[in-house]
Amino acid sequence: MKRIAPYHKADKLPLIVLSLFLVLFSLGITLDEPSRVLEQAWQICYSCIGIG
């Protein structure tokens, strides 16, 4: 079959990097880090915003 459009090879490197960070993200969830993030985000850190 004759190709009418130029063939573009998909980049694999971004997919590899994305997979690596998906693994880290999943590991973080298994370590229960999201609950720690929530704990922190629910409190106002006054010194962090220049007050106190």
Alpha-carbon Rg for the chain, nearest whole angstrom, is 22
Query: Is residue 38 a contact point for other proteins (CB under 8 A)?
Result: yes
Cβ atoms of 34 and 28 closer than 8 Å: yes
Query: Is residue 1 a contact point for other proteins (CB under 8 A)?
Result: no
Distance CA 11, CA 19 (A): 13
Total interface residues for other proteins by CB under 8 A: 39
Choice from 1, 2, 4, 50 touching other proteins (CB under 8 A)? 50
The residues of the shown chain that bind other proteins, judged by CB under 8 A, are 8-11, 13-15, 17-18, 20-29, 31-38, 40-42, 44-52
